[in-house]
Structure 1
Amino acid sequence: MNTEESVHTLPDGLELYAKTWKTSGSPLAVLAFIHGFSDHCNAYHDLFPTLASAGIEVRSFDQRGWGRSVKQTGDQGNTGPTSQVLADIHSFLKSLPSRPDLPLFLMGHSMGGGQVLNYIFHPESPYNQDKASRPNFSGVLLYSPSTGRIVAKLIPQKQRYSPLDANLLSRNKDTVKEFVDDKLCHDTATFGGLSGMLDRGIWLEGMFEAGDGEWVKSDLPFWFGHGDGDLITSYPATKYFAKRLAEKGGDVTFCSYEGAYHKLHAELPETTEKFLTDVKAFILSKVPKTEGAVAHDEVEGVQGVQGEGGIDTAVHGDVETEDKAKL
């Protein structure tokens, strides 16, 4: 498995660090990955190499304000408003290969998961405003997605040190230590960036209650994964969102990981192994070349959710509804 570093230049001239995890032969599919808060694309352990070894090329980048895309300390966490965040994602996605024989998938973790959901469903997202040149996805995957409230709106450009409790990220103590020692995980955001994350969460919480005309329906297959021990983002909120999406006719798969914390890709070995298997199985089941050859033992533990009432238990949890936020 080879990797290749590159630069993605945004329309405003900002250069983002990008990286590709290549397959040994011609890829069966491409996965675009959006990382989480205080994270970067090189911190996802075995997830990307595992997918590459299965024929799934992974393309990712460090978002504006994070990781190696930060050029000076004052840029840390300065993501810009939601409109900028989604425009950056759209720019990167449009740069990826677009071939009918090479399925493209989109995946987001934590903050990145919330961004992906806004990107797909918000009517003001560039994905829905720029339909003529929108990426042609074969599926969307979210795990431990952020749909909750973060912090009240304050001064847009002022930086705020907002440390995550590292002990809540994973039951794997090596993962906790690695996060604490990783200088690229700087835990710093502007109030504007935190406010944008808050607004995206508020909009997702009230998306379905706002009415069918307030969000854009999607025929894409969706996969959700969440540990029921996660105290960083809300497991009940993810399960509720997946349930409501299924009730609206969405093609939804929901995978629950008992006792797992936030970083499913770097959890206890048995949890991470199951997570990697589930992700790989979902993607390959949507690839025409492999959909009939996915091993039964890779998919038998996945909870498929189709149509109304698909998720076994309706969990509203701490989800609240409010008027939809503007980008």
Structure 2
Amino acid sequence: MVVEKEGTFEIDGLSLYTKSWLPDGPVKAKLIFIHGFSDHLGRYNNFFTALASRGIAVHGFDQRGWGRSVRKPADKGLTGPTSQVLADMAAFITSHLLPPASSSSDVPVFVMGHSMGGGQVLTLACHADYQDSVVRPVRGWLLESPFVSFSPEEKPSWLKVQAGRLAGRLFPHRQLRHEIRPEHLSRDPEVVRSIAADELMHNTGTLEGLAGLLDRTAALASGEVRPLPGGAVRSLWVGHGTLDKTTWYEASKKYFDECTGEVKDKYFRVYEGWYHQLHADGPESVQFYKDVGDWVLARCGEDKPEAKL
């Protein structure tokens, strides 16, 4: 049995929606999860339940501007600049690094991000200001379909990107809709229909937030942002579908091959023919649940880590 708990995380006077999926028995690991663009925690219930049933407690929050952290229309997409995005994640992760007062022992902490959240997680793991306070205490980092680069189907023109960045400096809080076609996210027709009907997935960003997303992606795609020397990033798992029509499989693989040399324990999982939402891509997604759970638990002393790829 899995116990679900809702709550809030207070930061800078703002209350962000949180939810946890907790094992009924002993907790073997904690997984902190960061969702993607126009997304929210409610979209991952089956995945998180599967992990919690194996002893992995999952904790996450709807980021500023998204999901149930939106209180009024003006909040939609109001993420703030990249510095704010990283500070929010760092504060939430730090709140879970220490064992609760009622516990006599701690368990390994892992951090995972999907899509835009994957790019954010990777940016945080490579940021010099957070190496000792956040990155080093985390046992492992996981990226699901990370936003390292747009897929060819979604890539905006150079002119549109430059115009957007200029407008973002002039009108940072102006909202702009960026539609992501539901049929590009999953091969499962039921999931596609549920995405189209989900009122919490508003596809609205601010010019400041979208500019920050583009800047983070450009820095990752160019290799400018990568794990730093010293081994703070202890372990890294990346999973990507080869037919992802939202973020680009080839860019993720290139980043993994060329930019992660400082990470000794790393693994790239290829999902042949899968789309963007590995956690909701039809009946086969149970394999994704197993892959993530196996990798996490292997780093909790249950099994030997698999060979690097």
- Give the TM interval when normalised to the shorter protein: 0.7 to 0.9
| Cα distance in structure 2, aligned partners of 1:231 and 1:263 | 10
- Is the 2:174–2:206 contact (alpha carbons within 8 Å) kept by the matching residues of 1? yes
- Is the 1:23–1:57 contact (alpha carbons within 8 Å) kept by the matching residues of 2? yes
- Is the 2:33–2:111 contact (alpha carbons within 8 Å) kept by the matching residues of 1? yes
| Cα distance in structure 2, aligned partners of 1:133 and 1:198 | 24
Q: What secondary structure is seen at the aligned counterpart in 2 of 1:30? A: strand
Structure 2 counterpart of 1:117, which letter?
A: L
- Is the 2:239–2:268 contact (alpha carbons within 8 Å) kept by the matching residues of 1? yes
- Is the 2:40–2:62 contact (alpha carbons within 8 Å) kept by the matching residues of 1? yes
| Cα distance in structure 2, aligned partners of 1:180 and 1:233 | 19
Which moves more between the two structures, 152-161 or 251-260? 152-161
> Would you say 1:269 and 2:283 are equivalent positions?
yes
- The number of residue pairs the alignment matches comes to 288
Residue in 1 that maps onto 2:246: 232
| Cα distance in structure 2, aligned partners of 1:167 and 1:132 | 40
1:81-134: per-residue Cα shift (whole Å, max 9, x none)?
A: 0000000111111111424630000000000000000001022xx423xx2566
TM-score by length of 1: 0.83
Alignment of 1:193-272 (within 5 A): 193-207=209-223, 218-270=232-284, 272=285
Structure 2 counterpart of 1:182, which letter?
A: D
| Cα distance in structure 2, aligned partners of 1:29 and 1:98 | 12
> Would you say 1:142 and 2:173 are equivalent positions?
no
| Cα distance in structure 1, aligned partners of 2:261 and 2:126 | 16
Q: What secondary structure is seen at the aligned counterpart in 1 of 2:51? A: helix
Give the percent of matched residue pairs that are identical in Structure 1 and Structure 2.
40
Residue in 2 that maps onto 1:291: 303
| Cα distance in structure 1, aligned partners of 2:80 and 2:43 | 23
Change (3 A) 1:190 1:286: same
User: How far has the Cα of 1:45 moved from its partner?
Assistant: 3.4
- Is the 1:33–1:108 contact (alpha carbons within 8 Å) kept by the matching residues of 2? yes
Residue in 2 that maps onto 1:127: 130
Residue in 2 that maps onto 1:314: none
- Is the 1:232–1:262 contact (alpha carbons within 8 Å) kept by the matching residues of 2? yes
Q: What secondary structure is seen at the aligned counterpart in 2 of 1:7? A: strand
> Would you say 1:282 and 2:298 are equivalent positions?
no
Residue in 2 that maps onto 1:70: 70
Residue in 1 that maps onto 2:194: 178
> Would you say 1:79 and 2:93 are equivalent positions?
no
Residue in 2 that maps onto 1:165: 181
Structure 2 counterpart of 1:4, which letter?
A: K
Change (3 A) 1:118 1:28: same
Q: What secondary structure is seen at the aligned counterpart in 2 of 1:2? A: strand
Residue in 2 that maps onto 1:103: 108
- Is the 1:30–1:105 contact (alpha carbons within 8 Å) kept by the matching residues of 2? yes
| Cα distance in structure 2, aligned partners of 1:143 and 1:260 | 12
Residue in 2 that maps onto 1:57: 57
User: How far has the Cα of 1:52 moved from its partner?
Assistant: 0.2
| Cα distance in structure 2, aligned partners of 1:25 and 1:232 | 37
- Is the 2:191–2:280 contact (alpha carbons within 8 Å) kept by the matching residues of 1? yes
User: How far has the Cα of 1:251 moved from its partner?
Assistant: 2.1
1:125-156: per-residue Cα shift (whole Å, max 9, x none)?
A: x423xx25667111110010001266441231
User: How far has the Cα of 1:205 moved from its partner?
Assistant: 1.5
Tell me, which stretches of 5 or more residues in structure 2 are unaligned?
100-104, 151-155
User: How far has the Cα of 1:250 moved from its partner?
Assistant: 3.5
User: How far has the Cα of 1:239 moved from its partner?
Assistant: 0.6
User: How far has the Cα of 1:248 moved from its partner?
Assistant: 4.3
- Is the 1:38–1:186 contact (alpha carbons within 8 Å) kept by the matching residues of 2? yes
- Is the 1:40–1:185 contact (alpha carbons within 8 Å) kept by the matching residues of 2? yes
Tell me, which stretches of 5 or more residues in structure 1 are unaligned?
311-327
Q: What secondary structure is seen at the aligned counterpart in 1 of 2:78? A: coil
Residue in 1 that maps onto 2:153: none
Residue in 2 that maps onto 1:321: none
Q: What secondary structure is seen at the aligned counterpart in 1 of 2:179? A: coil
| Cα distance in structure 2, aligned partners of 1:249 and 1:198 | 25
User: How far has the Cα of 1:9 moved from its partner?
Assistant: 0.1
- Is the 1:121–1:216 contact (alpha carbons within 8 Å) kept by the matching residues of 2? no
| Cα distance in structure 2, aligned partners of 1:219 and 1:78 | 30
